[in-house]
Structure 1
Amino acid sequence: MNRLYNWIKKPVLDTVTLYWELLKVMVPIMIVVRLGVEFGLIEHVSLIFTPFMDMVGLPPEAGIIWTTAMLVNIYAGMVTLVALLPEAPMNVAQITVLGSMILIAHSLPIEQRIVQKAGPGLIATTLLRIVGALVYGAILHQIYTAFNMLQENATIDWLPSTDADAGWLQWTQDSVISLFSIFWIILILILALKVLELLKVTDLISKALSPILGLMGISDKAIPVTMIGVMLGLGYGGALILREAREGKMSPQDIFLSLSFMCLFHSMIEDTLLIFALGADLSGILLGRFLFAFAVLFVLGQMVKRLPDQVFNRLLFRQA
């Protein structure tokens, strides 16, 4: 019993700490979004995103959700989605498209700074994530529409059903329930990651994916560090690559390709499960996203090999 208690204690404490930090961000965002809905501001702001969201088959309001995730983090995008879903109901395909775009492009101010410090150009890698997210979203939209897949209305079972015209009292009650539910989602997620680590599942996934990275032009020296970023997140992978770069253990081309792949596909388990909890389908947020990242990096790897060093350093890389 004591062993079980000690095993659970740290994940619970980690969840409480993370949740408290997230509350400081999530609660103000929920209030701002509610005020925007109440005074009709959301409708006007959404017009800015209409052309881009039309391209990926999403309602204009989805642009606000994605932008919030890009500028803050996935959790901020998550609560914005929860707040706007009554105003802009979506089907499962649309939730999957939006979730996939969030997974590719989120937390840009923090994550792109990490990438930049390691050497890859800030503009090049940021455009890779934003344009990549839009292109992948458009591809998913066309596939799901052409094959009439995932067209049923999306429902998030662990959230209360809030009407679009709900009053402030009902909205407050539902928001409290939503925030309380998010705590348990985070706790379950952290416990699941701990179980997967205990069962060595992450190690097995890393071994299975490592040979594929070589096909993208990433050298053997860079593959282990790249896999850390793929499994644990861009922050971990980027920090390790920064260390390797400072010690001269990785070539600039390896650093660029490794971080470019991580830009499109990182935190494979944690972030994917979080978006999955919002009702997205794994075909888009996991399998399709990996295939897209592989295809982009395969082409990018061939291009980087053929670029003269002078052009590569001017356009895509600066010495860390």
Structure 2
Amino acid sequence: MPFSLQRSLQTSLKSSWTILKLIVPIYILADILFYYNLLSYITFIFKPLVAFLGLPQETALSLVSGLFLNLYAAIAFAAPLGLSAKEWTILAIFLGIAHALIVETEIMRRLGISRVYSILLRLSVGLLVGGLTSKLPQSWFSNELSQEAVVPSHPLYHSLLDLLQNSLYESLSLSLKVMLLVTTLIFVLDFIKSLQMIEQHSQKVNSGFSILVGVILGITYGAGILIAEYEKGFLQKREILFIGTYLMICHAIIEDTLLFVIFGANLWIVVGLRIMFATLIAYLVLKYKKIT
């Protein structure tokens, strides 16, 4: 399909509206909950999870919303917390691996990969790699971007109206940054999808190419080019297991990572660890799991 500027613009506008609907109300809600210290009544349930990842207890809502919804919701809850570059990096790694579990698990189910395997794999690897990241030296992380991108940590407000006005301004500012990034990525990725090489290979079964597409464009597109062939019985279960395992750990490496990099997450640590563990675990699963 040839590249269409109009189609990409329509997609970006639709995504921008989705971002606004998610980020603005969730950001304001998070600000209110934090300001009135209401988070302590909610987040204690997830204390073991955030403690294992070396994150503040208040990030629990960000983690949960990312797990079950998407990364935009997670960022909206995390943005008002004034997180450090290291904490943003941990969030980027954990949620990059384990987000939108309900939707993406169903995509992998269409490839014959069980829901239990998908969820357990993504949660366990996310915790493993996120936990390891929390042990890395603080000197590996720079706070320069974080200081510029993150909202200052909760000034004193004279009234609820004052708080709401500030939250609205900050949430719209955050939404604008995310929309600009996502719009740029949509145009770039749509152009990549339109390339003749992509179209030619998407009609064929090619494990390496499917992984490359999934890593760059996302789990939906990477798995999508395989679903029809799988349903026809043209793919071996070993191929599906390897590709599925790899993509569940490492997919949409550009878009997902950059959403967190604008807040100070370390690009090279996030990308490097996700690719390394995706390769290692997919290889080990293929080597030791018996497939009938």
TM-score by length of 2: 0.84
- Unaligned runs of at least 5 residues, structure 1: 1-5, 207-219, 310-320
Per-residue deviation at 1:132? 0.7
Residue number among 230, 234, 238 corresponding to 2:215 in the alignment: 230
Post-superposition CA distance 1:15-74 (Å, at most 9, x none): 322121233333342344344335533112222222222222111122221111111100
Q: CA separation in 1, counterparts of 2:249 and 2:260?
A: 15
Post-superposition CA distance 1:232-253 (Å, at most 9, x none): 1111122222212112221112
Q: Secondary structure at the match of 1:90?
A: coil
Q: Relative contact order, CA 8 A, sep 6+: which one is greater?
A: 2
Deviates more, 1:37-46 or 1:121-130: 37-46
Alignment of 1:183-222 (within 5 A): 183-192=176-185, 194-195=187-188, 221-222=206-207
2:169 counterpart residue number = 177
Per-residue deviation at 1:164? 5.1
2:141 counterpart residue number = 150
The 3 A distance-change label for structure 1 pair 132 and 165 is farther
Residue number among 51, 59, 67 corresponding to 1:62 in the alignment: 59
CA RMSD of aligned residues (A): 2.8
1:113 counterpart residue number = 106
Post-superposition CA distance 1:79-124 (Å, at most 9, x none): 01113x1xxx432112111111111111111111111122101011
Residues 1:246 and 2:237 are matched in the alignment: no
- Unaligned runs of at least 5 residues, structure 2: 199-204
The 3 A distance-change label for structure 1 pair 53 and 202 is farther
Q: CA separation in 2, counterparts of 1:185 and 1:29?
A: 15
Q: CA separation in 2, counterparts of 1:42 and 1:138?
A: 23
Q: Which amino acid aligns with 1:117?
A: R
Give yes or no for contact 1:95–1:154 (8 Å, CA) kept in 2.
Answer: no
TM-score by length of 1: 0.77
1:262 counterpart residue number = 247
Count of matched residue pairs: 279
Q: CA separation in 2, counterparts of 1:59 and 1:23?
A: 26
Residue number among 32, 40, 45 corresponding to 2:42 in the alignment: 45
Q: CA separation in 1, counterparts of 2:260 and 2:130?
A: 15
Deviates more, 1:149-158 or 1:106-115: 149-158
2:287 counterpart residue number = 302
Deviates more, 1:10-19 or 1:54-63: 10-19
Q: Secondary structure at the match of 1:143?
A: coil
Per-residue deviation at 1:290? 1.2
